[in-house]
Structure 1
């Protein structure tokens, strides 16, 4: 109970929210690191995932990227830190690598799952391959595509915390610095903030995922759920 009250006092202390090492600054740093990581991963993985989904060529690439999930995060961080030096570059590269599989899988699965008859009908109407992708496949693939970004975002937010053993900012500093000084209120408070931040971001992306789901798909999902209930 003493730890909980100490943590609550740490979280509600206005002094902890101010300054270059305050909670507000650490949250902003963590969001910045995470956003940049996800954007870079998406810029790499989305075109590849859409292409292999369109041409149905994901048999080799997707399992290969899925194998990246098995890489030990801390080990990868340490190796990259030794290779490129201590700083923001090593964890950024490591986290981009870790974010690639879910984004790629979401893009590939979304495009690949589009009904082939719908694609054939678009081609028969005179659509070019680019128009088929942009106007037919992508709108229908958006729910799964955004779902991949959602999974990557949660993974990145959580893993940037572990990257704090390198001299970078973010919410992980509360855990590392708190451990060094045995300030358990700071450690638990930092963990709570990471959890809340992850839940908020997940809720925001989940809302976007629902909004981009085509109406026809939502209606089919509801009818399918109703049929199962009966």
Structure 2
């Protein structure tokens, strides 16, 4: 490990980490916004549930590198435009979270929903004030998988020349120099761990009624 090289490249590495965070998190935010109504629709209408969930599953099987290359002519963007990566990872995030949202809403006891209806809640109020809060642990579990997956998939964008942590891998392979590769792996793992812990913390803050494990 060449720490002198890391010191010289520190500014560039910080910039790459910033791009990696942006390319990883924007698709998560947009994906959640898109997946919530689709997952709710799949939960409400049992007849279309298999088709919606099945289609989402098929989208996730599209090879990421192929999607990165196919999107520019569809979106009218250049191959090096980060928007291609954001759109591709948003598709994967939606594909993953649609089933998660549907399962989260399915996990809410029917008695709870009926009680909210009896109290005069409209359907959207029941969703926002009862079903989603109760389903937060299931949704957060899916988000943890989606975030880690995005952190990993963003690295592939380096093959297209889009700067982020994956650029350290390509640089290391080109120079046959292992320090950038080791640094890239360590930063990817650290970023995935930090984002995962943030979701765990958010889950605890959003569900203060859940029992906490007491250790002696």
User: Which TM bucket (shorter chain)?
Assistant: 0.7 to 0.9
Q: Which whole-Å CA distance do the structure 1 matches of 2:25 and 2:124 have between them?
A: 28
- Gapped regions of structure 1 (runs ≥ 5): 223-230
Residue equivalent to 2:114: 120
Structure 1 position 58, deviation (Å): 2.3
Supply the RMSD in Å over aligned alpha carbons.
2.1
Aligned to 2:162, the other structure's residue is in SS state coil
Tell me whether 1:69 sits opposite 2:60 in the alignment: yes
Q: Which whole-Å CA distance do the structure 2 matches of 1:156 and 1:39 have between them?
A: 12
Residue equivalent to 1:146: 140
Residue equivalent to 2:195: 201
Residue equivalent to 2:71: 80
Q: Which whole-Å CA distance do the structure 2 matches of 1:82 and 1:48 have between them?
A: 27
Q: Deviations over 1:80-107 (max 9, x none)?
A: 2455431223222221111112222221
Q: TM-score by structure 1 length?
A: 0.82
Q: Which whole-Å CA distance do the structure 2 matches of 1:59 and 1:65 have between them?
A: 10
Determine if contact 2:23/2:85 at 8 Å carries over to the other structure.
no
- Gapped regions of structure 2 (runs ≥ 5): none
Q: Which whole-Å CA distance do the structure 1 matches of 2:208 and 2:104 have between them?
A: 13
Q: Deviations over 1:102-134 (max 9, x none)?
A: 222221111111111111122122221122112
Tell me whether 1:134 sits opposite 2:134 in the alignment: no
Structure 1 residues 164-203: aligned runs within 5 Å: 164-203=158-197
Structure 1 position 10, deviation (Å): 5.6
Q: TM-score by structure 2 length?
A: 0.87
Determine if contact 2:169/2:180 at 8 Å carries over to the other structure.
yes
Structure 1 residues 86-105: aligned runs within 5 Å: 86=79, 87-105=81-99
Choose 1 or 2 for highest CA Rg.
1
Q: Which whole-Å CA distance do the structure 2 matches of 1:63 and 1:97 have between them?
A: 14
Structure 1 position 172, deviation (Å): 0.9
Q: How many residues align?
A: 209
Structure 2 residue corresponding to 1:15, chosen from 8, 19, 23: 8
Residue equivalent to 1:109: 103
